[in-house]
Amino acid sequence: MRYLQLEKGESIDKKQIIGIFDLDSASNSSATNGLFRRKEDEHGVVNVSNDLPKSFILCDGEYSDTVYISGISTESIKKRLNNEIKPIWEKSESK
């Protein structure tokens, strides 16, 4: 799969992902706070969280970088990125 499914029906192209960060640990950094302020001024922050935000994903978009705030943990996002769905013919060939 080429896209990572997030909340609220939002999906992002996996090739655009620059980094995935834990919001609690990264928010202690002045560099992260500066990034958020700059992206908010540029309207480059998209909140797709249905619950309390747990992570953010920095993406290199076609025209500018975008920060997606997500309620999905970094571990769950990593699993989603690594669990590719194989076509049914590949599953039967591997038996």
Q: Is 95 exposed, middle or buried (0-12, 13-18, 19+ CB in 10 A)?
A: exposed
What is the tens place of the pLDDT at every residue in 3-53?
Answer: 999 999 899 999 999 999 999 999 899 999 999 999 999 999 999 998 899
Measure the CA–CA gap between 51 and 71, rounded to whole angstroms: 6
Q: Which DSSP state fits 8?
A: T
- What's the average model confidence in pLDDT over 72-84? 88
pTM: 0.81
